[in-house]
Structure 1
Amino acid sequence: MLAGLIFAIEEASDRPGTLVATLPFGGMTLLEYQIRLLIGAGAEQILVAVGRMTPALLAAVNRAGRREVRVEIVRSAEEAAEKIEEGARVLVMADGLVTTDPVMDRMGHDGPEALLVTDDAGSPAAIERLDMRDCWAGVARISVRQLGQIAQMPDDYDFQSALLRVAAQSGAEHVPLSASWLRSGHAVEHTAEGLAARNTGILAALTERRVGWADRWVFTRVARMALPELVSRNVPGWSLFAAGGVLALLSFTAIGFDWEGTGLIAALLSAATLATGGAMAALRGEERRAAAVEWALLALFGGVALGCGWMERARLDTTTPLVLALVALAAQFLVERAPSRHRRWWASPSAHLLLLAPFALAGVIQYGLAAAAAYAFVTLGAAVEGTREKA
């Protein structure tokens, strides 16, 4: 079992009386974002270590407690050790820590005790020095037994520092903080201004989850520009999915009236809206909704391709365009289900929409369907070869 322990004790240096954990971050509080990361790493129970309760902290804990894991408040290592099952691994997050899913996934793996470290004492991730070379970078994996050791210390100990010392003295593995993790926004912040600055970097990292060329160079850039503004205004995630659905219906309607160029433009707008909604869902820990975006984009591409194929079948008096649309959709469906890691050049629903758009605007969509079918088929071949290599 994996449990989580978050420290929420220190006040923001630029907002006296306000805990760092309750500062706004990513359309929620920092504490809620940290809880979201722990849930994503597989934590089944989460404890929040506090020095004092505030109304904002209680509200944040109550909101987070509506998720699928238990979120409880503790005031000491002794209380924490009593609440966590014997033999569980405990993933610890420092007060004011901002990080991303890859960091938490790495530290949440099975294994002995471990400390995330940096050898740069001036790094924004450096919290406390461990030895002559390394500083703690805000994440630790410890055992319940070590929590019990801290509980035997005098009452005036600092919980976070004591935990760090016990882990270091036990010979915990030092996991170096990589440059990519640092670039993605990993840091410890104790000011509202600093968190606001980190917010942009974290949002940018979340939009990089989709690796295809069309997403990286078009739709991800749109999401990166729109997401900070949407998050700052607390726009609900469902509204983006609703807007994407409406645009998809407009696209299908335009294609039904034989306005294929207009339909493709509406489809591209729908794809951009859905991609932004997916990034927002990932930020808020709504993994099912984020995963549903990929299937929604496939359905969007399928509707557009089949609609264009049907209209061309009637106009050209041949079933070839419709067959090409079916081949493209079937091949892409198999690509989406392929277990091999997707490559940047591979076809994707959003890439197909970009490919079809110029052909539709030029009035020769049948050639676009042929290109999409060929692209999907070549990608499927690469996916099959990738699966064979993996096997």
Structure 2
Amino acid sequence: MLTATLPFGGVTLVEYQARLLLAAGASQIVILVARLTPELLGAIARIGRRGIAVDTVRTAAEAAEKLHPLSRILMLADGLTTTEATLAMLAREGGDALLVMPEDQAGQGYERLGGGTVWAGVARLEPRRVSELAAMPRDYDVQSTLVRLASQARAVHVVLQHDAMRGGHGVGHSGAALDIRSRAAMASMISGRRGWFERFIIAPLARALVPMLVPRRVPAGAVAAGAGAGGLLGLALVAFSHPVAGLLLCVLASMGFSLGAILADLRDEPAVRRGLDAAAVALPGLAALAYGYDASQFSGDGAPWVLAIGVIVLAVFAERAADGIERRTWWGSAAGYLTLVWLGAVLAAPVAGLGVAATYAAATAASAIERLRREP
């Protein structure tokens, strides 16, 4: 089996690499491969569904024909696993550049560059390097020769960050090593989520469960179905005046939707991920509204209902303002607001719980808006 089609993070390695390239802004993917296997053809078809051109070539001459003369090329080593942040360092404008690391920190499978450094698996190349290689005899190894050509052209050396190794960066062809790096990459992706609820509650849960779910190929839809059933039961309990159990179920169901979104993200299912992210936000809102309405009916006072509407409006403003910018750790989220509402239900103080949640959402919205104003 080709290294490119070994499993990694719920997909094949080449699909994971393509996802990194897409995140870096790639508009074309060229795969240099000696033979096309059914597994590779299936992976290429799935990559192509993302709307990007995917070409397979056997030689440097064929690759040179596929590439635009003004393009900027990112070359990934066979068997490379890395992170989006690491790839972004090489995806910037500029000439030839090589990602390097000290030789004493590298294992087997790395290209030595001399001077105590090795190539860490990512290179930014000018198109003429491929043309230069195409003019050479065909028995030259494409990957190694391109690295040598870039090095001879005084390519900039970009040192690999130490954190990247913990995030799953590595080069190798062993299935066991890929499995270890896959777990590290998944943990890094999950831990990078911002917001206290996501970082301290969702991330530890995902780190514990996702490595068990991915090898068993549990679909994100199955996780979503379980979360949906729990959410519907929770809404029913809230509507029938059992808010403590009902709101807790809704919080857990929202966490389930977030877990399903992480699985969909790992398996490169953007439409499913967007749907589950929306469900993880919508369910807490519906639960807060149902709780506010039931509490108002029970007390004969409209304050809980008004506060519930206020929580929803302020939370929407906060999410809109925080969209696309780096979130601060203390900022709230839909499940976080509902957790405060649940604590109010536990204390039999619906007005206090909803009021605190509304205040928290208002503070998050104000902070996000202020941050947007300060950005250039």
Instruction: Check whether the contact 1:41–1:101 (CA below 8 A) recurs between aligned residues.
Output: yes
Once the two structures are superposed, what CA deviation does each residue of 1:147-175 show, in whole Å capped at 9, x if it has no partner?
10111112211110001011122222222
Matched with 1:213 is 196
Superposition deviation, residue 288 in structure 1: 4.7
Structure-2 separation of matches of 1:383 and 1:249: 32
Match of 1:322 in 2: 305
Q: Map Cα deviations across residues 207-241 of structure 1 (whole Å, 9 max, x no partner).
A: 12321111111111111111111111112222223
Amino acid of the structure 1 residue aligned with 2:41: L
Q: Deviations over 1:343-373 (max 9, x none)?
A: 0011111211222223223332322111101
TM-score (norm 2): 0.93
2:292 matched to 1:309?
A: yes
CA contact (8 A) 1:298 1:333 kept: no
Counterpart in the other structure of 1:72:
55
Change over 3 Å in CA distance of 1:285–1:41 after alignment to 2: farther
Decide whether the 8 Å contact of 1:45 with 1:71 is kept in 2. Answer: yes
Q: Which amino acid aligns with 1:132?
A: G
Please show how residues 277-356 of structure 1 align to structure 2 within 5 Å. Answer: 277-339=260-322, 340-356=325-341
1:384 to 354, 369, 372: 369
Match of 1:42 in 2: 25
Instruction: String of CA shifts for 1:284-338, please: whole Å, max 9, x gaps.
Output: 2334543444433221221111111111111111111112112222111111111
The CA deviation string for residues 87-127 of structure 1, in whole angstroms up to 9 with x for no partner, is 11111110101112222233222332221111243335971
Q: Unaligned regions of 5+ residues in structure 1, if any? A: 1-17
Q: Which runs of 5+ in 2 are unaligned?
A: none
Determine helix, strand or coil for the equivalent of 1:118: strand
- Give the distance between the partners of 2:338 and 2:140, measured in 1 at CA: 60
Deviation at 1:40? 2.1
Whether the 8 Å CA contact 1:214–1:354 is kept in 2: the answer is: no
For residues 97-246 of structure 1, what are the structure 2 equivalents within 5 Å? 97-124=80-107, 127-246=110-229
1:125–1:187 contact (8 Å) kept in structure 2: no
Please provide the CA RMSD for this pair: 1.9
State the aligned residue count.
374
Whether the aligned pair in 2 keeps the contact of 1:241 and 1:274 (CA below 8 Å) is yes
Normalising by structure 1, we get a TM-score of: 0.90
- Is 1:81 the counterpart of 2:84? The answer is no
Match of 1:364 in 2: 349
Paired amino acid for 2:256: T
Cα pair distance change 1:106/1:282, threshold 3 Å = farther
Q: For residues 110 and 290 of structure 1, what CA distance do their matches in structure 2 show?
A: 31
2:250 alignment partner in structure 1:
267
Instruction: Give % identity.
Output: 39
Distance 1:122 1:346 in 2: 38
Q: Does 1:29 align with 2:2?
A: no
